[in-house]
Amino acid sequence: MPGKKNLLLGISGGIAAYKVCEIASYFTKKGVNVNVVMTEHAAEFVAPLTFEALTKNHVYTSLFDGNGPDPVAHVNLGRTADAVLIAPATANIIAKIANGIADDMVSTTVLAANCKKIIAPAMFTGMLENPATQRNLEQLRKDGWEIIESESGRLACGAIGSGRLAEIPELISAAEEALFADEQLAGKRVLVTAGATRENLDPVRFITNRSSGKMGYAIAKMAKTMGAEVTLISGKTEIRPPHGVSTVSVESAEDMYNAVTGKAADADIIIMAAAVADYTPAEYCAQKIKKSEGDNNLVLKRTKDILAGIGKDKKPGQVVVGFSMETENLLENSRKKLVSKNADMIVANSIASENTGFGVDTNAAVLIGKDFEHETGLMSKEELAKLVLEKAAEML
């Protein structure tokens, strides 16, 4: 992540406060300067010391904290923040912020902040649904806050209902986007495909491949973080769609072809990370295929090559990136794909090592263009996503 950014993390008094430790830790590890302010009630749930240890910064719980290094911390922390995230947000802190009340460290610091602000409510269902809380949330929306809606599930009181703090990865994505929204792809539209397609044989069986979708999802998420408007066209995966990305689920290669061609014209960058079936059953059998004596032959027909179609109809200024998965002759075959599919770049990756390719969180690739070849070495799929997007942005 480029540059040193400041995240202001405001924590109010809810049991979900313990989950937010992960957010503080995540951003600190990524090199973000995380400043935590807590209400006194929040400090009953998690000791400020926990956040101090995670962020290496003093945690303020009071406006008159004689131990902190800055006597006017509420002004300075608010003023220097690149993004504010309030999580968990109780009905009380929501009400205070919505009405401009500043009588504790969190509400006061937030009032001094002039940056992208995100709030994640978490409370008992009845309190959330109360017209007063809904009115306050509506006011925050009007004031430009991004509300990360709570989820349904088991609450601390044992009841099942809405009011559970949204999942932590969702909060992280939203904060990441807010912190880095001014980055390289601001104002650009990025279309990404991910995952495996599924070719149905009958109502019971299908042909697919080992793609997990992790690489394509990492690209979609990173493109969003870099400020782009992102559409993700995804085959079936086990991964949650990244926050703020418009995700279209598809099943077969044909579905993916239709979804991609419908959206390609508007995109500045198109990245085809999906593992698309090259063949599909020649005929779909509406009833389960019954076994019979002897062997059976499966007749397959070719699917359309989506990337080649996009490459052929490429608009001026558009950057088209394909992936190439090989088990042998990686460079030679990938260079051929660059030409045959009229792509601007091919991300060539091999499944030769257990740390690259399907299902794992790391990858290594060679980025191949008309006048460059760059070997990345082993890295996380997020890091590779960033390299690919930076190169694509450069080519735009």
Catalytic residues: 157
User: What is the smallest separation between the CB atom of 305 and ligand CTP, expressed in angstroms?
Assistant: 4
251 binds ligand CTP (CB under 6 A): no
Helix (H/G/I), strand (E/B), else coil: 41: coil
Do residues 280 and 199 lie in contact, with contact meaning Cβ atoms separated by under 8 Å?
yes
Helix (H/G/I), strand (E/B), else coil: 237: coil
**Pairwise CA distance, residues 97 & 12, whole Å:** 12
Q: Facing residues of 87 across strands?
A: none
User: What is the smallest separation between the CB atom of 361 and ligand CTP, expressed in angstroms?
Assistant: 20
322 binds ligand CTP (CB under 6 A): yes
Q: Facing residues of 234 across strands?
A: 194, 249
**Pairwise CA distance, residues 369 & 346, whole Å:** 7
Cβ nearer to ligand CTP, comparing 155 with 364: 364
At residue 367, what is the residue type?
L
272 binds ligand CTP (CB under 6 A): yes
User: What is the smallest separation between the CB atom of 201 and ligand CTP, expressed in angstroms?
Assistant: 18
325 binds ligand CTP (CB under 6 A): yes
**Residue 289 DSSP label:** P
132: left (phi over 0), alpha (psi -120 to 50) or beta: alpha
323 binds ligand CTP (CB under 6 A): yes
135-146 burial, b if ≥16 CB within 10 A, otherwise e?
A: ebbebbeeeebb
- Residue 189 half-sphere exposure toward CB, CA atoms < 13 A: 11
Which of these ranges, 56-64, 112-120, 164-172, 269-277, lies near ligand CTP under the rule CB under 6 A? 269-277
170 binds ligand CTP (CB under 6 A): no
Which of these ranges, 93-101, 198-206, 273-281, 289-297, lies near ligand CTP under the rule CB under 6 A? 273-281
**Pairwise CA distance, residues 19 & 46, whole Å:** 10
Cβ nearer to ligand CTP, comparing 23 with 325: 325
User: What is the smallest separation between the CB atom of 332 and ligand CTP, expressed in angstroms?
Assistant: 11
Smallest CA-to-CA distance from 308 within 232, 259, 267, 257 is with 257
User: What is the smallest separation between the CB atom of 183 and ligand CTP, expressed in angstroms?
Assistant: 25
Number of chain positions touching ligand CTP (CB under 6 A): 14
Which position has the token pair 């997007």? Answer: 389
Which of these ranges, 18-26, 94-102, 133-141, 268-276, lies near ligand CTP under the rule CB under 6 A? 268-276
Which of 52, 167, 254, 278 forms a contact with ligand CTP (CB under 6 A)? 278
Which of these ranges, 20-28, 167-175, 282-290, 316-324, lies near ligand CTP under the rule CB under 6 A? 316-324
**Pairwise CA distance, residues 117 & 308, whole Å:** 42
Which of 8, 11, 46, 274 forms a contact with ligand CTP (CB under 6 A)? 274
Smallest CA-to-CA distance from 392 within 187, 173, 188 is with 188
250 binds ligand CTP (CB under 6 A): no
Smallest CA-to-CA distance from 107 within 40, 43, 17, 172 is with 40
Which of these ranges, 4-12, 155-163, 270-278, 291-299, lies near ligand CTP under the rule CB under 6 A? 270-278
Return phi, psi of residue 196, to 5°: -100, 145
253 binds ligand CTP (CB under 6 A): yes
Chain residues 295-314 in contact with ligand CTP, contact rule CB under 6 A? 303, 305-307
Cβ nearer to ligand CTP, comparing 104 with 305: 305
Tokens encoding 46:
């998690």
388 binds ligand CTP (CB under 6 A): no
Residues that bind ligand CTP (CB under 6 A): 253, 272, 274, 276, 278, 303, 305-307, 322-325, 337
